Amino acid sequence: MFAKIDQGLHTLYRWCGYLAAGFVVLIGCLVLINICSRLLGVFVPGMTEGAGYSMAAAGSLGLAYTFGEHGHIRVTMLIGRLRGSARYGMELLALVMAAGLSCILGYYLLRMVYVSYDFGDRSDGSDELFIWIPQAPMAIGFAIFAISLVHAIAAGWAKDQTVAANSDDDSSIDLAGH
């Protein structure tokens, strides 16, 4: 059961990575269109705003994928010196804190999208786009990142239980290495 959920979540993270890459390509296209339109003396509204929205979407949608691929920078000055259960405890503490903060941020970002949708807010830029449209990918990205952190905690705990049942030593489990 856990293996199917694990596989499904990793597929979700990979698709978020693909979407993030698509938004990076979109940034390049929007910037290129903006440059070319200025050279031709034509004003195309919303190019700068669209690039900014795409930047936020790419950054947030890429979080879960990057975490799953061990791409986030880790400061190991303290944790690198610890061994066994002390290292496991610090890894767990760091993940629990990150998951808690990400859950709060994801919740409030999703709530912000709902409020923007409910009030019909529009952007202040020249495009006058409904603001919930560019907010949604960012909120979804942070919510999926929060899920990936909780998933890492659950996977690390499950691996720790398996190691503890099958081993006499207290070797450390890399919680981020789900």
Q: 16 falls in which pLDDT band (50, 70, 90)?
A: very high
pLDDT at 161: 54
Residues 6 or more apart whose Cβ sits within 8 Å of residue 86: none
Q: What is the rounded CA–CA span in Å between residue 90 and residue 93?
A: 5
pLDDT at 171: 42
Q: Is the pLDDT confidence value at 162 over 80?
A: no
Q: What is the rounded CA–CA span in Å between residue 132 and residue 120?
A: 8
pLDDT at 167: 42
pLDDT at 33: 94
Q: pLDDT tens across 21-38, in order? A: 999 999 999 999 999 999
Question: Among 139, 141, 147, which Cα is nearest to 9's?
Answer: 147
Q: Pick the residue with more confidence: 24 or 74?
A: 24
| Coil/strand/helix, residue 151 | helix
Q: What is the rounded CA–CA span in Å between residue 58 and residue 61?
A: 5
Q: Which long-range contacts (CB under 8 A, 24 or more apart) does 39-48 make?
A: 45/125, 45/126, 45/127, 46/125, 46/126, 46/127, 46/129, 48/125
List the alpha helices (DSSP H) in the chain. 2-40, 47-68, 84-119, 132-166
pLDDT at 160: 64
pTM equals: 0.83
As a whole number, mean pLDDT of residues 149-163 equals 77
Q: Pick the residue with more confidence: 84 or 57?
A: 57
Q: Is the pLDDT confidence value at 174 over 60?
A: no
pLDDT at 124: 85
Q: pLDDT tens across 100-138, in order? A: 999 999 999 999 999 999 999 998 877 788 999 999 999
As a whole number, mean pLDDT of residues 57-73 equals 90
